[in-house]
A and B are shown apart, each in its own frame.
Chain A
Amino acid sequence: MSQSVAVAIVALFVTSCLVRILPAFVSVRMGPNSRRYVERVLPAAVFINFAVYIAYSEAVREPLAASASLAVVAAIAFLNAFGLISTAAVGTALYFYLTV
Chain B
Amino acid sequence: MRSVARLLGWGATVLQTGTLQRTLGRVVPTALAIVPVSALFGALAARADWSLLEILAVGALGFSGSGQFALLPLAEADAGFFTMLLVTASINSRYVPIAYASAGRLPASLTQRAVVAHMLGDEAYATEHESDSRRTVILIRGTIFGAWVGAGLLGAVLGQFIPAAWIGEEVNLGFPASVVLMYLSGSQLRARLWLVRDDGNGRPGLLAAAGLCAGVSLLLINLVGPLYFWIPSVLAATVILGRTKI
Contact = CB atoms under 8 A, between A and B. Distances in A.
18 contacts: A7-B80, A11-B71, A12-B61, A12-B67, A19-B93, A19-B99, A23-B96, A44-B192, A49-B213, A56-B221, A58-B175, A73-B182, A73-B183, A77-B183, A77-B186, A85-B29, A88-B180, A99-B172
Contacts, number: 257
B221 A53 contact: yes
A14 B33 CA distance: 27
Which one of B33, B186, B238 has the highest number of Cβ atoms from chain A below 10 Å of its Cβ? B186
Interface of A: 1-2, 4-26, 36-58, 61-62, 66, 69-70, 73-78, 80, 84-85, 87-88, 91-92, 95-96, 99
B230 to A, nearest CB: 7
Given A16-B63, A43-B192, 6 more contacts: A16-B92, A19-B95, A24-B114, A51-B185, A58-B172, A95-B175
Contacts of B185: 47-48, 50-51, 54, 74, 77
B176 A21 contact: no
B101 A39 contact: yes
